[in-house]
Amino acid sequence: MEKKDIIQSFKDSLFTGLIALALFGPIVGLRTESKGEGLFITPQWGLVFLLVGLCILGRFLINLNSARKTEITFFSKFTSKFSVITEDKAKHFAITAILFAVVFPFLPFTDRYFMDVAIMILTYIMLGWGLNIVVGLAGLLDLGYVAFYAVGAYSYALIATTFGWSFWICLPLAGVFAAFFGILLGFPVLRLRGDYLAIVTLGFGEIIRIILINWYEVTNGPDGITGIPRPSFFGLPFKRSPDEGETSFHLFFNLEYSTMHRIIFLYYLILILALITNYFTLKIRKLPVGRAWEALREDEIACKSLGVNPTNTKLTAFAIGAMFGGFAGSFFATRQAFISPESFTFIESAIIVAIVVLGGMGSQTGVVLASIFLIGITEMFRDLEQYRMIAFGGAMVLIMVFKPKGILANRKPTILMHGDKK
Amino acid sequence: MLKISNVETFYGKIQALRGVDLDVNDGEIVSLIGSNGAGKSTLLMTISGVNKAKRGNIVFNGENIENKQPHKIVDMGISQVPEGRRIFSRLTVEENLRLGAHANEKGKYFENDIKEVYDLFPVLSDRKTQRGGTLSGGEQQMLAIGRALMSKPKVLLLDEPSLGIAPKLVNQIFVSIKNINKEKNVTIFLVEQNAKKALELADRAYVLVNGKVTIKGSGQELLKNKDIQAAYLEGGAKN
């Protein structure tokens, strides 16, 4: 390497240090602590110094390496090998993953915390798969997907608390409501694509959240809805002491009462819901409407000249994507037993979009890996408190640097007809 | 079969077609030649309903279609191979063909239709699991034509099938167009800049200048026309 390059990369890493200082200075350097009657600022310049130093050093090392192109190519080779393996053995991988998911609650190391994280990851997987229909297949960038999640959760909560209907009746109703809102969003954005569509959907997500806050008579505003009924195991509730004339789950099966029963049941519930979403997507991809979604993503004018009706195609994509968001929403409501507009902020939409994009647009397995990676990482670093968002951001940057098209970028062709294989 | 009278189409305030009159009879090959920006592609898009005519009529088999939606027009039997092919590049060859059958997909005739396309363009059969974007320009053009044929059109609108394709493949594609016309009995309306090829192939032809038809006649007549030779043929031969 020439001397000029070294000086260049040294300058570059100093600049990186400057950016790091600007970021870490206020975020890390000034720590607010509540002591007694007020907030006090404790400076932590030592830590800032350390972090900035690490950034400068890291940048310098990356610069040196990229000049030699060793580290990076090694890393991307490793990851591309990984994606080739999973593509080739996608079926085996899927079966193993499903089997693992099925036995997961009974593994010796599985405790309540693991189960909660697993349920959360599965919820995001389901949301990711739902959004994948809209973003990955139909190519309509929807930044307001959380709106349908919210509609599902609120319709479930309102129906269940008002009429007292069971989960299994409310679930499809919530899905229908969400699908209806999907069509509602679909109509005004039919002519939009790309950035413009993204802005409008972003607005739609916020509108729904603001309506939820302000429509006090129905939604109870920022206070949210409490006392949402828990799901029952085909009519058997999970209660320690059942009401008069009721048999609860543990009595019916002659088990000792444990709160884990309900958690395990919720786990299987979301697992089944997520798998239904996946199965549905894989099937619909092979039907004319699914193919039309993908064609629309590629070229709208060609679609029109071939007789694909873009209006219906877009609306079905929005409606079906929204429906699965609504299912996930009702699951969320029944699991939490309490919902408020707080849970449906833009960051949720952003996380779901991130999962779809980082997973590799349109890849079902990619969504799973990205959810585990992103949600898992933020959970793993929970001890770091607010810094875990840095881990979250770092994870995203790493994926985009090494796999710019997502974890699993290569989608297999949907159809292999006449029995050939390449 | 297809009668276009006094059609005017605008892009915003800019008028692209200034009263086009033209007709295509059953079983014919009709060519439309003209230079860049004459309005050739606009005319095809107007027939397909992707662009709407502001004035004038388009009648297909006795029915007015100028206000119909594009997918309705495809259902009626007018299919377009758009300029620049517009292949769905991330879908496979076979998926592209299936999408062509979208208007017609009852599944029943699909197997047979797709076989006919593969017989017409055997190279597509070899590449059916390959992504559309990985084909060569000529192969993509074949795929675009095959895709349009999947909806069983009565009229096939072709927009510059020779654009950006190796000369050897251009010949092959023009032979295929002739075959589609003669064997499958599909009426062809061909828009081309390659005037010589287009006129040789055509039963009848029109010349479009500045959004208006200026000359019409049989393909042979137009080939001998002095003005056309000067404007479109000799210039083309030199290049």
The CA distance from A412 to A90, in Å, is 10
Residue A6: pLDDT band by 50, 70, 90 thresholds? Answer: confident
Return all residues near A227 (Cβ < 8 A) that are at least 6 apart: A161, A337, A338
**Residue B93: inside a domain:** no
The beta-carbon neighbor of A420 closest among B74, B87, B129 is: B129
The CA distance from B32 to B213, in Å, is 9
Residues of chain B found within 8 Å of residue A409, distances taken between Cβ atoms: none
β B155-159/B78-81 pair status: parallel
**Residue B144: inside a domain:** no
pLDDT tens digits for range A118-145: 999 999 999 999 999 999 899 899 999 9
Does A254 reach chain B within 8 Å, measured CB to CB? no
Tell which wins on pLDDT, A263 or A10: A263
| DSSP character at residue A108 | T
Q: Where are the beta strands (DSSP E) in chain B?
A: 2-11, 14-24, 29-33, 55-60, 63-64, 78-81, 155-159, 187-192, 204-209, 212-218
The beta-carbon neighbor of A298 closest among B48, B90, B130 is: B90
Measured in angstroms, the CA of B80 and the nearest CA of chain A are apart by 6
Residues of chain B found within 8 Å of residue A292, distances taken between Cβ atoms: 99, 102
Chain B: residue whose CA lies nearest to A290: B99
Neighbours of B180 (CB within 10 A): 22
* Residues A84-110, mean pLDDT to the nearest whole number: 79
Does A294 reach chain B within 8 Å, measured CB to CB? yes
Mutate to test the interface with A, among B75, B78, B126, B129 (most CBs of A within 10 A): B129
Does the beta-carbon distance from A417 to B128 stay under 8 Å? Answer: yes
Max Cα distance, chain A (Å): 85
Measured in angstroms, the CA of A287 and the nearest CA of chain B are apart by 10
Does the beta-carbon distance from A294 to B105 stay under 8 Å? Answer: no
Chain B residues near any Cβ of chain A (below 8 Å): 48-50, 69-71, 73-75, 79-82, 86-92, 94-95, 98-100, 102-103, 105, 128-131, 147-148, 151
Pick the range with the lowest mean pLDDT from A361-375, B29-43, B103-117.
B103-117
Which two three-digit tokens encode residue A270?
Answer: 């979301």
The ipTM assigned to this model is 0.83
**B29: closest CA among B170, B190, B141?**
B190
**What's at A359, amino acid-wise?**
G
Residue B90: pLDDT band by 50, 70, 90 thresholds? Answer: confident
Looking at residue B108, its pLDDT comes to 64
Which two three-digit tokens encode residue B118?
Answer: 């593969």
Number of domains within chain B: 1
pLDDT tens digits for range A301-356: 889 888 888 889 999 999 999 999 999 999 999 999 999 999 999 989 999 998 99
**What's at A284, amino acid-wise?**
I
Looking at residue B106, its pLDDT comes to 57
Residue A84: pLDDT band by 50, 70, 90 thresholds? Answer: low
**Residue B113: inside a domain:** no
Residues of chain A found within 8 Å of residue B91, distances taken between Cβ atoms: 291, 294-295, 298, 413-414
Measured in angstroms, the CA of B233 and the nearest CA of chain A are apart by 31
The CA distance from B2 to B67, in Å, is 15
Cβ proximity of A202 and A346 under 8 Å: yes
Chain A: residue whose CA lies nearest to B46: A305
pLDDT tens digits for range B40-81: 999 999 999 999 999 999 999 999 999 999 999 998 999 999
| Alpha carbons within 13 A on the beta-carbon side of A89 | 9
**Residue B146: inside a domain:** no
**Residue B194: inside a domain:** yes
* Residues A252-260, mean pLDDT to the nearest whole number: 82
**Residue B94: inside a domain:** no
Describe the strand order of the beta sheet including B187-192 as a list of residue ranges.
B78-81, B155-159, B187-192, B29-33, B204-209, B212-218
Question: What is the value of pTM for the model shown?
Answer: 0.78
pLDDT at residue A415 above 80? no
Measured in angstroms, the CA of A217 and the nearest CA of chain B are apart by 44
Does the beta-carbon distance from B128 to A418 stay under 8 Å? Answer: yes
Does the beta-carbon distance from B99 to A413 stay under 8 Å? Answer: no
Measured in angstroms, the CA of B167 and the nearest CA of chain A are apart by 25
Does the beta-carbon distance from B94 to A304 stay under 8 Å? Answer: no
Instruction: Give me the percent of chain A exceeding a pLDDT of 90.
Output: 36
Does the beta-carbon distance from A307 to B69 stay under 8 Å? Answer: no
* Residues A231-252, mean pLDDT to the nearest whole number: 77
Tell which wins on pLDDT, A233 or B225: B225
pLDDT at residue A78 above 60? no
pLDDT tens digits for range B166-219: 888 999 999 999 999 999 999 999 999 889 999 999 999 999 999 999 999 999
**Residue B55: inside a domain:** yes
Does the beta-carbon distance from A295 to B91 stay under 8 Å? Answer: yes
Measured in angstroms, the CA of B211 and the nearest CA of chain A are apart by 22
The beta-carbon neighbor of B94 closest among A304, A306, A417 is: A417
pLDDT at residue A206 above 80? yes
Mutate to test the interface with A, among B41, B68, B88, B97 (most CBs of A within 10 A): B88
Residue range(s) defining the domain that contains residue B42: 2-88+154-238
Does the beta-carbon distance from A414 to B95 stay under 8 Å? Answer: yes
**Residue B43: inside a domain:** yes
Measured in angstroms, the CA of A362 and the nearest CA of chain B are apart by 11
- CATH of residue B227's domain is 3.40.50.300
Does the beta-carbon distance from B99 to A291 stay under 8 Å? Answer: yes
